[in-house]
Amino acid sequence: MKKPVSRSLFLWLGLALLVACGDNLLADPSFDLWCGDKLCAPWESKGKVTRVGTWHDYDYGAALQDGAVLSQLTSHDSVQCIEFEVIADVDAKAEVWLELDFRDDGSSEYKQLIPESHWAKLRYLVKAPSWYDKLRFILRKQGTGRAVLAQIKATPSDECSGSAVPLLHRPPGAGCDGKDQCDSAQCTVGPDRFGNGLAKASSDQPAPKVCSECTKNTDCAAGELCAAVASTIGGYLACVKPASTPDGAWCINHAQCQSGICTPTLSITHSGCGACALDADCAAHEVCGVQVGPHAAARGCVAPERRALGDLCAQDAECKGGVCCNGTCSECCDHTPCKDGRTCGHHELWLTVTPSLCGEGQRWRKAGAACDNDSECLSGKCELPKTQCFLRCEGAGCPKNKDVDCGFVRQLAGVCR
């Protein structure tokens, strides 16, 4: 039996997709791609780097001259342990350093000298910092001896032990283990990413901490609150003026919001300031649903039963069918089982949010019925509309076709043909 997607799955599908596409943190690890006399992107080079033969007639490597530097900024998500495999021909007179710059700020936190080696496979394990937002791999050559790199492979591992590479000067919003890692000298439990208030401990893990500017109101100037704010890195605590946070922005208390209301926007998201928290906050003919403006999604008063299968929703009353499941108008959910006894299922697609339907995958729907894939229909044909971004701007003042966040797309229900 398939169950409706969990609240956290939407947000972690992106990570799963990256892993599925390959575990190597480096592109072109064998230096196969050359653009003329230079390595192609994403490799970047300084100094003289040439293409030369290795131990095999049809295999080539990168020869580094004195002062040459090769580097690559990985596009892979952060990992906690990195396993390196290096195959190189390095003379004793040459110094070749493997370096890791965990913030891509020009300062390498890890350095490893590659010893004299003649095509032997060298292996290193590096326990990464508990948080980093960027990672640049660097190979630096000094000295006049021969240095030819045939391969450098970097993959996630679970074999690391001991202390992690130190990473200090972390900005607000960065994960932290202690205040010494933070520029602000404050490491505290931050806003909950999937609920109201501060993050909570699980059965086997303590509540995660982030670098913040305050931990309580008394850390702030007179007339300010210690409240939730967000950066491109994540949510953290900072001193703000009361009633200064706009609708849709991260919050942990009512006092910081311009509307005076801080509430979870969707069941799968953190709390945000909004125009309502309950139907009682709205006019008689409205319900407290969700609206997406130019910058964010927020709770707002909307007409009931206005959304179709697959549409974004915050509560059942917004949907024409009366079921909102994990932020999507659906036919069924854990709290609303199928009336005909069929199982409630969810069609899972990478980075796509789809509605939960009764009898998912059982090929029983007649022509004209709603569907979300071919396996729903007797005919084997489900005609689907174009996907939309999951958070699509729909309020007043939205630029044409504005999408707030297209990390995930929303698949509206189709029609069996």
Domain annotation for the chain: domains and CATH numbers: 23-156 (2.60.120.260), 168-198+207-271 (no CATH), 280-416 (no CATH)
> What pLDDT is attached to residue 7?
38
Q: What is the pLDDT tens value at each position of the chain, 417 positions in all?
A: 334 444 333 433 333 333 333 589 999 999 999 999 899 999 999 999 999 988 876 788 999 999 999 999 999 999 999 999 999 999 999 999 999 999 999 999 999 999 999 999 999 999 999 999 999 999 999 998 999 999 999 999 999 999 999 999 999 999 999 999 999 999 999 998 877 889 889 888 899 999 999 999 999 999 999 999 988 888 999 999 999 999 989 999 999 999 999 998 876 677 899 999 999 999 999 999 998 888 788 999 999 999 988 888 999 999 999 999 988 999 999 889 998 888 898 777 777 888 999 987 788 999 999 888 888 899 999 999 888 888 888 777 787 767 787 778 888 888 999
> What pLDDT is attached to residue 268?
66
Pairing of strands 34-35, 38-39: antiparallel
The token pair at 323 is 């079921």
State the Cα angle at 29 between 64 and 112, rounded to 5°.
Answer: 60
> What pLDDT is attached to residue 204?
84
**CA-CA distance, 246 to 227, in Å (whole number)?**
13
Q: How far is CA 269 from CA 194, 254, 266, 332, 395, in A?
A: 5, 17, 5, 21, 19
> What pLDDT is attached to residue 267?
67
**CA-CA distance, 192 to 11, in Å (whole number)?**
14
**CA-CA distance, 150 to 84, in Å (whole number)?**
13
> What pLDDT is attached to residue 56?
72
| pTM, to two decimals | 0.76
Give kind and range of the element (H or E) at residue 73. strand 69-73
> What pLDDT is attached to residue 20?
35
User: Which residues in 102-249 belong to E strands, given as ranges?
Assistant: 110-114, 117-127, 136-142, 147-156, 187-189, 209-211, 225-230, 235-240
Give kind and range of the element (H or E) at residue 325. strand 324-325
> What pLDDT is attached to residue 342?
87
